[in-house]
Amino acid sequence: MATVCQIWRPDRGRCLKSYGIIAVLFMDLMLQCVNGSLSTTNVETHYTRDGPFITSPVVPDASSVFPADEDTSKCPSGGLCHRLPAHCIQCDYHLKCTYGKPTLFTCRPKKGVHCIGESGHQQTNFSLNITCQFCWQLDPSQYRCTNSTNCMTVSCPRKRYNATCDVLDHVHCLGKRRFPKRLFCNWTGGYKWSTALALSITLGGFGADRFYLGQWREGLGKLFSFGGLGIWTLIDVLLIGVGYVGPVDGSLYI
């Protein structure tokens, strides 16, 4: 019997080692699942017959859903309630609405602002039809963003910059009306493409096109080499014509 035990004991060790590896892998998988569930956002999207339905099992912070109080001194009084600017009213927004669908929200004018309904009587509460979407999901025509003049617009790949955007007064949306966004560099320093191309064709051999675009080193090179004996001039005509060569400050042509 002792001999039998000595023969089978190594097999038992290998079996226990295999079981231990499986147990460790199983525990690691469970921990990854738990961490994944904890790191997901609180907003869930359900799909219904009418489209995606946004819900939130955890009540979000009021400051992240409701716009902060703003100065109401410039708000008009005595007009129709549903025509008041967004910063002049306070609405009871909620996230239980279908994205992109019009939804009725209960609103009221802020303190010091008076408005009337369609009947001509003063109202303290009214319903407003608002599209269910956050402010950062609006069409770009419905908000204005800061423009950066410190990034290169003519580059490959195209560069982006961090902008701060504000929603227009007459547009209503959920969430904060001021939000950050990364936009493509898109600004101009006043250089005209037609002028640069005309200079390149007529006076390109003397570097006039490069001087106009602010590239004085290349301009001097073309001036003293007579446009690279015509070869550099021809190449610049093609490069400026297709927009590959632009202003030295990185801006766009107008």
**CA distance linking residue 166 with residue 184, whole number of Å:** 17
Average pLDDT score over residue span 221-233: 89
Say which residue, 226 or 69, is predicted with more confidence: 226
More confident residue, 221 or 159: 221
243: nearest Cα among 197, 186, 188? 197
Is the pLDDT at 39 greater than 60? The verdict is no
Looking at the chain, the whole-number percentage of residues with pLDDT higher than 70 is: 70
- In this prediction the pTM is 0.52
| pLDDT, position 178 | 93
Cα separation, 148 vs 185, in Å, equals 7
Identify the sign of the CA torsion 239, 240, 243, 249. positive
In sequence order, what DSSP letters do the residues of 155-217 get, joined into one string?
A: -SSPPEEEEEEEE-TT---BS-SEEEEEEE---B-S--HHHHHHHHHHSGGGTHHHHHTT-HH
The CA dihedral of 55, 57, 59, 65, to the nearest 10 degrees, is -20
Find the mean pLDDT for residues 126-143: 91
Predicted pLDDT of residue 23: 66
What integer pLDDT is reported at residue 8 of this predicted model?
A: 45
Rounded CA separation 54/133 (Å):
10
- Yes or no: say if 87 and 177 are a contact pair by the CB < 8 Å rule: yes
pLDDT number for residue 179: 93
Amino acid at 112: G
140 preceded by cis ω (within 30°)?
no
Q: How many CB atoms lie within 10 A of CB 151?
A: 19
Cβ–Cβ < 8 Å for 92, 105? yes
105 touches 93 (CB < 8 A) = yes
Least trusted range by pLDDT, from 33-37, 165-169, 213-217: 33-37
Instruction: Give residue limits of the domains in the chain.
Output: 76-132, 140-187, 193-242
C-alpha–C-alpha distance, residues 149 and 120, integer Å? 49
For the chain, give the mean pLDDT.
76
